[in-house]
Structure 1
Amino acid sequence: MGIVQRQGLRNTIISYAGLGLGFVNTVLVLPKVLEPKQIGLTSVLMALATMFAQVSAFGFGNMGVRFFPYFRKPESGHQGFLPFLLGVPLLGFILIAVLYLLGRPLVLHWYIDDATLLGRYYTWGLVLTLFVLLINLQDAYLKALYHTAFSSFTQEIVLRLLVTGGALLFAGGYLDFHGYVLWYVGALGGIALLLTVYTASIGELHLQPTAAVLRVRPLREMLGFGAFALLGNVSGVVISSIDSLMVGAKVDLDGAGIYGTAFFISTALVLPFRALYKIAFPLLAEYWKNNDLPRMADFYQRTTRLNTVLGCYLALGIALNLDFIFGQMKPAYAAGASAVLILLAGRLFDGITGLNGLIVVTSPRYRYDLIFNASLALATVLMNLLLIPRMGLTGAAVAAAVSLVTINIARTWFVWHSFGLQPFDKRVPVILLLAAVAGVVAWLVPFTHSLLVTMLLRSVVLTALYGGLLLATNAEPQVREIVKSLLRRGRSNA
């Protein structure tokens, strides 16, 4: 097994473990320990840091992965590539730092109800920005070197464990909230340091700048690619972070904390989609290489059906058991229940519409993906500006869901119009109907003396009825194949 395969397998294991740990940490641990305002503060600081770090980087993370093969010469320290990769973004960080500090009065005016609390930690947000920038750049360098597993492990596992550890120290009285925030910032700094130490340990920490770096590829070409990547990266950050920032500004930090928790509850729905997309990405690239549109069309529809089956099951499982989920938190977080339901609807539609985004980005018309991402970012901002003042954090959820639905309709139409591919067949409406029947029956299960017992009963009814209906109707043939495979393994192990 080559290094790419080994790193890919390790990354897959780490990714799933990290997603599971992140869900438990964000949904079950932190809301038990921290007040909504406290989670809201760290969420706002992290969102600001992520956004400013992306602008500082000027797309150099993507540029590093794209152009490093031209610089790869271990005997010459890769011709000074690492100092170049770090140097330009660090210069950008200096400019961003000046703007960040000069913009303090404006930002605190946006968060006027919580200006005292945010103002106390505003400068620490700049430190957090530097650490996020260094982590992203070192992660890109290690990707280019095909050493990705350790970077994934530190960010997906170690960082989340450190944040959990800080929360538990806070709960035990060993840290006050000020100490917890510094611990949180320090955890990011620790990850950046770990990546530096690892890079040195594999003999790739080449910090001696050279003039040769400017002669390998035209500087204009690299900067141009970085600028293009910057637009895509900023759009992605806006899509993922702007709602928390705007809830904090338009409502308060309590609302940002509640909304952030609701947002992460809904992320459980995307886990199977991400797993399928990891497999789908190289397959779609291969189909495009061979111009094999018939196989791509079949794969598009089969994946959409499977996403519909899994997405409906998880969405119903979460929605039916929100009382139990919020029962594990401080009571204030229950105000986010409506936001969870709305976000689940948006994410479910995102999954059901299939692979439209990946088909676009792997196609000859990949540049249109930037237009879609920029449009989604703009739509998200405008919808938040319109709805948050009227509906609070529920408005942010509606904005996110409507934006997802709208952009996926546009992407689906674009793929159909451009390539003659569409994700739906006659089985998808049948699956949706079966899911609705199973969901209604499970919802009718009465509340018992215990939230836990009620959750278990509803989950059993949903699983048995939904699974039974899928098998009886053969609405998704892959379900029968999976069941038969499991039965054969059971018999062979008996």
Structure 2
Amino acid sequence: MGIVINQSFKNTITTYLGFGIGAINALFLYTNFITDDYYGLVAYILSAANIMMPLMAFGAHNTIVKFYSTFKTKNSLNSFLTLMLLMPLVLSIPVALVGYLGYDAIADILSQKNEIVRGYLWYIYITALAMAYFEVFYAWVKVQMQTVFGNFMKEVFHRVGAMTLLFLIYFDIITIDQFFTGIVGVYVIRAFVMMLYAFTKRLPVFRFNKIDKLSSILKYSSLIIIAGSIATLILDLDKVMLNNFIEPISVVAHYSVAVFIATVIAVPQRAMHQILLPLTAKFLNENNKSELKDLYKRSSLTLYVVSGFIFLLIVLNISELYAIIPPEFSGGLIVVFLISVAKLYDNLLGNNNAILFNSDYYRVVLLFGVILAILAIVLNLILIPRYGINGSALATFLAIVIYNTIKVYFVKQKFGMLPFTNGTLKITLLLLLIVAVFYFWDFPFNPFINITLKSLAIGVVYGFTIYKLRISEDINDQVRQFFRIK
């Protein structure tokens, strides 16, 4: 776990930096510098692009991670990487042609409730393509066990770009149309910078020799599109469907703020996943079951400890947080709670996704995913018209919980291991106890001071208890190193 903890720690810092900048953007700049309708449009464009991204990448980024370590000669590896660079064009070019020929028909469908969407559909395509190639180049360096710079680009770069554009529009230096063009441009530049960095780590040597296991590679790439689509679909489907069921589009902005607050819980998982993915693939390719089982349990425990603390900070401070942002955004308390619990469950799974998508069982998991994606769509169709944004959050919560439970059960059946330990139960009881103690406890000061004092109190109680109970040796080791405790 040494390389995992080391790079995860650095990735966590950059991810939190990115989320901190994102919080300023989402809670203060977007809500004050542009109208709610345009904020909703930004959320819609980026969510739709996220859903399209796995399709545009044609699974190349996952395929690089799974198969890279199986190639033992330079020629075979170079031929494989050449294929990976070209694969995103397989679907992105046909999608562009369909978009060009059928633009009006597509626009009519997507702009039924909100006409503002009609003029920005190409922005979705370009952003999705840029996201896809960014992930390909990021995977290029992940397999070199180098994730820190890529994580910085993934979490920080585009948020700094958005912040810069928001200030430019606030000071009337650019127009709203230029702002949207700039948002797309930020993602294009990010992909280009990632490409340059990736090529400094391993310069591509274009080879078109016959590739061993080509049929397996293409089959995996084709099927993993579905897996990637399902993962992003469950997270971003709600925002896209809200646009089609509810007007005005500003509702998407209000929902996005609540989801962003809850999604902060995902930071540790996002940070650790970057290094867990290639490491898990390596253990699977080497059939190293003991190391895989150890990584499964320790990653779950570490992520649950860290994400549990973030969960407490969010749930116990949410009322005060909503008091410091514009009141029209304050109707998302239920959304925050439901998505927070779902993301906490995500963290509890450790490297479960990495095990499944890099094993020979990924086909069955994809079948589960397709069923769950259909379920998520049906739940949104039923619940959004009845309960609005709370219905959308409930649909997402149910889809994630069911999907994760199936994945845990499947790994238990096929690999004979669970991520849970006695420490899992101890953390759960501690979380419930702290929520019961602190939920109704507030200081009689302004919201900023209340959040600060309450967070410090929660941090001291939670951190001291976790350390004394020795729930996670990895975390205790990091604490001792940080404070130089012998």
TM-score by length of 1: 0.80
Tell me the equivalent position of 2:308: 312
How far apart, in 1, do the equivalents of 2:305 and 2:189 lie?
Answer: 41
Q: Does 1:373 align with 2:339?
A: no
How far apart, in 2, do the equivalents of 1:377 and 1:85 lie?
Answer: 27
Comparing 332-341 and 412-421, the one that deviates more: 412-421
What SS class does the counterpart of residue 484 from structure 2 fall into?
helix
Deviation at 1:308, TM superposition (A): 4.0
Contact 1:55–1:230, Cα closer than 8 Å, also in 2: yes
Contact 1:80–1:206, Cα closer than 8 Å, also in 2: no
Spell out the pairing of 1:68-217 with structure 2 (5 A cutoff): 69=71, 72-73=74-75, 78=78, 82=82, 85-87=84-86, 89-90=88-89, 92-101=91-100, 102-115=102-115, 117-140=116-139, 151-195=150-194, 204=203, 213=208, 215-217=210-212
Tell me the equivalent position of 2:480: 485
Tell me the equivalent position of 2:220: 225
Tell me the equivalent position of 2:346: 350
Comparing 12-21 and 295-304, the one that deviates more: 295-304
Q: Does 1:245 align with 2:244?
A: no
How far apart, in 2, do the equivalents of 1:471 and 1:308 lie?
Answer: 14
Tell me the equivalent position of 1:26: 22
Tell me the equivalent position of 2:447: 451
RMSD in angstroms over aligned alpha carbons? 4.0
- For structure 2, the residue ranges without an aligned partner over 5 or more in a row are none
- For structure 1, the residue ranges without an aligned partner over 5 or more in a row are none
Deviation at 1:339, TM superposition (A): 0.6
Identity value in percent: 21
Amino acid at match of 2:347: G
Residues 24 and 131 of structure 1, relative CA distance in 2, 3 Å threshold: same
Q: Does 1:41 align with 2:41?
A: yes
TM-score by length of 2: 0.81
How far apart, in 2, do the equivalents of 1:149 and 1:432 lie?
Answer: 31
How far apart, in 2, do the equivalents of 1:484 and 1:66 lie?
Answer: 33
What SS class does the counterpart of residue 112 from structure 1 fall into?
coil
Amino acid at match of 1:45: I
Deviation at 1:451, TM superposition (A): 0.5
How far apart, in 2, do the equivalents of 1:151 and 1:434 lie?
Answer: 35
Residues 70 and 216 of structure 1, relative CA distance in 2, 3 Å threshold: farther
Contact 1:39–1:257, Cα closer than 8 Å, also in 2: yes
Contact 1:70–1:216, Cα closer than 8 Å, also in 2: no
Amino acid at match of 1:113: K
Q: Does 1:335 align with 2:331?
A: yes
Residues 389 and 104 of structure 1, relative CA distance in 2, 3 Å threshold: farther
What SS class does the counterpart of residue 320 from structure 2 fall into?
helix
Deviation at 1:183, TM superposition (A): 1.0
Comparing 176-185 and 264-273, the one that deviates more: 264-273
How far apart, in 2, do the equivalents of 1:284 and 1:39 lie?
Answer: 39
How far apart, in 2, do the equivalents of 1:103 and 1:130 lie?
Answer: 17
How far apart, in 1, do the equivalents of 2:380 and 2:274 lie?
Answer: 31
Deviation at 1:342, TM superposition (A): 0.9
Deviation at 1:267, TM superposition (A): 2.0
Partner residue of 1:463 out of 459, 462, 468 = 459
How far apart, in 2, do the equivalents of 1:288 and 1:81 lie?
Answer: 18
Deviation at 1:199, TM superposition (A): 6.6
Residues 104 and 70 of structure 1, relative CA distance in 2, 3 Å threshold: farther
How far apart, in 2, do the equivalents of 1:272 and 1:454 lie?
Answer: 25
> Residues 27-66 of structure 1, C-alpha deviation per residue, up to 9 Å, x if partnerless?
2224312244323212221233333343233334444566
Residues 299 and 249 of structure 1, relative CA distance in 2, 3 Å threshold: same
> Between Structure 1 and Structure 2, whose CA radius of gyration is higher?
1
How far apart, in 2, do the equivalents of 1:359 and 1:63 lie?
Answer: 14
Residues 139 and 475 of structure 1, relative CA distance in 2, 3 Å threshold: closer
> Residues 341-380 of structure 1, C-alpha deviation per residue, up to 9 Å, x if partnerless?
1111112233335554444446564543333433433332
> Residues 183-212 of structure 1, C-alpha deviation per residue, up to 9 Å, x if partnerless?
1112122224434555777894668xxxx6
Q: Does 1:326 align with 2:322?
A: yes
Tell me the equivalent position of 1:54: 54
Comparing 309-318 and 397-406, the one that deviates more: 309-318
Residues 382 and 22 of structure 1, relative CA distance in 2, 3 Å threshold: farther
> Residues 423-475 of structure 1, C-alpha deviation per residue, up to 9 Å, x if partnerless?
44555444333322222222232341311222133223323444455567x38
Contact 1:21–1:160, Cα closer than 8 Å, also in 2: no
What SS class does the counterpart of residue 113 from structure 1 fall into?
coil
Deviation at 1:319, TM superposition (A): 1.0
Amino acid at match of 1:463: G
How far apart, in 1, do the equivalents of 2:423 and 2:143 lie?
Answer: 42
Q: Does 1:403 align with 2:399?
A: yes
